[in-house]
């Protein structure tokens, strides 16, 4: 925080000598925002009288009263000048009676020695003059401010209050916005090119204590100091009505949601360390954090340890990630600690414990009447799958383990979601009720979770679809397929024993539809056995000695129908 140090006593003497008390008057605040190293300090003369002595860069005066209706000459000289004859630049202005102004010294003394403005704007030393300036907010609970683009080498920019609104849209160098009124609170202000991303810089604007106040927020300094005589770096500052200048600290912040989706029983609960500090204690499987703010543009070490850990030295796995400023991420703990002790992935994808990291996450839907969600294939022993909204559309097509889809937007309603092998939509692995009718405006991550065949995976949690909301709430969708019945055919088809070793017997009724063939498919959809039953045969023993442990689908294919049963081979 900086304050004006030297307002010359000659100011008062000068104003008295011209009889300002009985004349028409106006009020003026002066801000020094010229980043030219040769103008780090300046002397300011008003009508030949030294008024501001050694006036420093990024300082401001309070509002002072000046005569209105007559020409005023403002001269800028080097510090420690001896008289008005030393002025380098002079500006003449006439103030209107009763008005309140701000005059902002800006630009560089010799533009040819500095980087050009990207939009071709003149960067010569000048005064930005603006009238209709406020000394207080129009509403007591708000802060009112104008924004001034005063960074000579910066292009047209936007200023965005992160997750709130765009405050400044397409402002070129020298632009001064109308007043912006916001509730007194703390904000992250992202500065981006006018065309959008990437974020040039982010600043913490601590406005919570300024309710009822007003300010001039000014972009200051150089985006590229090395191309501008090593002048001061770009920053955002606020000049208050009393002359106090507040620096908005620059920061890099991302938001992150962490989801535990590792179905390994040994990781049922874990401790999470971030850069050596315990961040999540006893973090349980199928739980999630809300979106939290974390440092960006720096490397983070995320360590996973047993729930009984005493320190970061107990971590089992460590992951290094660097998040982009302004990014919104999800980090999903997935996989198993020792893949050789679990069923292999049918597509030969590594199932080792890892973090799935995804940027560009949403904390609400784009359309207020819809639900936006991404689907994550996190079931290690499941093949490439499709997810079909029954009677609506295929919403996930050919997603292998570890895949994360783009956002899918659907009207807020209730859906039945069928999970099938990617190459066999007739075989429904699981079917879930997704009651999204009350979710308008929400965003979510939908995860395939657990094991299709728990018995081949240390009796870990069974396959499920879980929904993780932005606030960290986790919902488990209801699987409408119970036991091994894939369709409501339990009165027509039976498998016994099931689970089975060596052989199983299939019993079926073909009274309503002649069964022409029986196919057995593995979870990838590959046919591993094909049986042609004899006419009127309805009891068949099947040799499964050569089958690996896992989940299979027995299809009874008739003249007009297909009936499917799950078979688990131990």
pLDDT digits (tens, 9 = 90+) for 484-520: 344 445 567 889 998 999 999 999 887 667 888 899 9
**23 pLDDT higher than 80:** no
pLDDT at 2 over 50: no
537: confidence class by pLDDT, cuts 50, 70, 90: confident
Q: So what's the pLDDT on residue 545?
A: 92
Q: What is the pLDDT of residue 535?
A: 79
Q: What is the pLDDT of residue 512?
A: 66
Q: Work out the average pLDDT over 556-570.
A: 81
Average pLDDT of the segment spanning 546-567: 83
pLDDT, one tens digit per residue, over 448-470 is 999 998 989 999 999 999 999 99
Using alpha carbons, select from 445, 162, 403, 412 the residue that is nearest to residue 289.
445
CATH number of the structural domain 493-569: 2.60.40.3080
Alpha helical stretches, state H, 73-126: none
Instruction: Tell me how far apart the alpha carbons of residues 429 and 115 are, in angstroms, rounded to a whole number.
Output: 63
Among candidates 451, 398, 421, which has minimal Cα distance to 527?
421
pLDDT of residue 41 exceeding 70, the answer is yes
Contact yes or no for 469/444 (Cβ under 8 A): yes
pLDDT at 521: 85
Q: What is the mean pLDDT of the segment spanning 124-144?
A: 97
For the segment 531-541, the average pLDDT, to the nearest whole number, is 87
**CATH 2.60.40.3080 region(s) of the chain?**
493-569
Nearest to 103 by CA among 113, 94, 114, 116: 94
Reply yes or no on whether the pLDDT at 16 is more than 70.
Answer: no
The per-residue pLDDT of the chain, averaged, comes to 91
Regarding predicted confidence, which is higher, 11 or 533?
A: 533
pLDDT of 251 over the 70 cut: yes
Q: In this predicted structure, what is the pLDDT of residue 373?
A: 97
Reported as a single tens digit per residue, the pLDDT across 391-425 is 999 999 999 999 999 999 999 999 999 999 998 88
Determine the distance from the C-alpha atom of residue 9 to the mean position of all C-alpha atoms in its chain, rounded to a whole number.
Answer: 52
More reliable by pLDDT, 117 or 4: 117
Average the pLDDT over each of 85-94, 195-204, 259-268, 517-526 and give the range with the smallest value.
517-526
| Peptide bond just before 198 cis, omega within 30 deg | yes
Closest CA to 219 of 33, 377, 45, 354: 33
Residue 106, CA distances (Å) to 40, 57, 124, 261, 347 in order: 12, 10, 8, 55, 63
pLDDT at 493: 85
Average pLDDT rounded to a whole number, residues 122-143: 97
What is the arithmetic mean of pLDDT over 169-193?
Answer: 97
pLDDT over 90 for what percent of the chain?
80
Residue 161 has pLDDT above 60, yes or no: yes
Residue 1: predicted pLDDT: 33
What confidence tens digit (pLDDT) does each residue in 69-116 have?
999 999 999 998 999 999 999 999 999 999 999 999 999 999 999 999
Query: Of the candidates 306, 329, 308, which has an alpha carbon nearest to the alpha carbon of residue 316?
Result: 306
Mean pLDDT of 385-390: 94
Sign (positive or negative) of CA dihedral 500, 543, 344, 525: negative
Question: For position 350, what pLDDT does the model report?
Answer: 98
Distance CA 521, CA 529 (A): 7
The pLDDT, as a whole number, for residue 527 is: 85
**What pLDDT shows up at residue 424?**
86
Residue 7's pLDDT is 43
| Mean pLDDT value of segment 347-353 | 97
Residue 482 has pLDDT above 50, yes or no: no
Rounded to 5°, the CA angle 189-191-194 comes to 135
């Amino acid at each position: 925080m900086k304050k004006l140090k030297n307002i010359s006593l000659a100011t008062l003497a000068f104003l008295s000598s011209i009889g300002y008390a009985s004349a028409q008057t106006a009020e003026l605040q002066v801000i020094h925002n010229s980043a030219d190293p040769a103008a780090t300090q300046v002397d300011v003369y008003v009508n030949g009288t030294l008024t501001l002595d050694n006036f420093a860069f990024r300082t401001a005066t309070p509002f002072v009263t000046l005569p209105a209706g007559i020409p005023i000459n403002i001269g800028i000289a080097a510090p420690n000048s001896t008289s008005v004859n030393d002025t380098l630049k002079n500006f003449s202005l006439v103030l209107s009676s009763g008005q309140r102004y701000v005059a902002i010294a800006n630009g560089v003394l010799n533009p040819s020695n500095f980087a050009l403005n990207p939009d071709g704007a003149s960067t010569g030393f000048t005064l930005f003059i603006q009238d209709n300036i406020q000394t207080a907010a129009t509403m007591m609970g708000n802060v009112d401010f104008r924004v001034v683009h005063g960074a000579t080498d910066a292009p047209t920019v936007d200023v965005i209050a992160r997750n709130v609104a765009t405050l400044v849209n397409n402002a070129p160098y020298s632009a001064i916005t109308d007043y912006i009124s916001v509730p007194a609170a703390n904000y992250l202000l992202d500065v981006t090119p006018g065309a959008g991303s990437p974020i040039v810089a982010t600043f913490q604007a601590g406005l919570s204590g300024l309710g009822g106040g007003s300010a001039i927020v000014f972009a200051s300094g150089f985006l590229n100091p090395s191309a501008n005589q090593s002048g001061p770096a770009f920053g955002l500052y606020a000049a208050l009505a009393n002359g106090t200048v507040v620096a908005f600290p620059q920061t890099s912040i991302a938001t992150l949601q962490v989801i535990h989706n590792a179905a390994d029983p040994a990781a049922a609960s874990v401790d999470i360390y971030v850069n050596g500090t315990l961040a999540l204690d006893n973090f349980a499987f199928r739980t999630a954090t809300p979106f939290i703010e974390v440092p960006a543009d720096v490397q983070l070490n995320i360590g996973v340890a047993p729930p009984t850990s005493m320190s970061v030295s107990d971590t089992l796995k460590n992951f290094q990630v660097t998040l982009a400023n302004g990014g919104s991420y999800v980090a999903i703990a997935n996989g198993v600690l020792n893949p050789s002790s679990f069923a292999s992935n049918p597509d030969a994808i590594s199932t080792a414990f890892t973090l799935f990291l995804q940027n560009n996450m949403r904390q609400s839907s784009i359309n207020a009447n819809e639900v936006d969600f991404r689907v994550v294939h996190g079931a290690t022993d499941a093949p490439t799958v499709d997810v079909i909204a029954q009677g609506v559309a295929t919403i996930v097509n050919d997603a292998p383990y570890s895949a994360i889809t783009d956002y899918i937007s659907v009207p807020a309603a209730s859906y039945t979601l069928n999970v099938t092998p990617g190459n066999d939509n007739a075989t429904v692995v699981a079917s879930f009720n997704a009651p999204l009718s009350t979710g308008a405006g929400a965003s979510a991550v939908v995860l395939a979770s657990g094991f299709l065949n728990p018995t081949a995976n240390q009796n870990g949690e069974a396959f499920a679809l879980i929904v993780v909301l932005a606030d960290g709430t986790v919902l488990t969708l209801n699987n409408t397929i119970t036991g091994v019945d894939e369709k409501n055919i339990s009165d027509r088809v039976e498998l016994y024993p099931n689970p089975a070793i060596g052989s199983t017997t299939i019993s079926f009724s073909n009274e309503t539809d002649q069964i022409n063939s029986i196919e057995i498919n593995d979870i990838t959809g590959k046919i591993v056995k094909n049986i042609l039953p004899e006419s009127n045969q309805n009891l068949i023993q099947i040799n499964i000695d050569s089958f690996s442990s896992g989940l299979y689908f027995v299809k009874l294919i008739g003249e007009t129908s297909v009936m499917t049963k799950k078979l688990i081979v131990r």
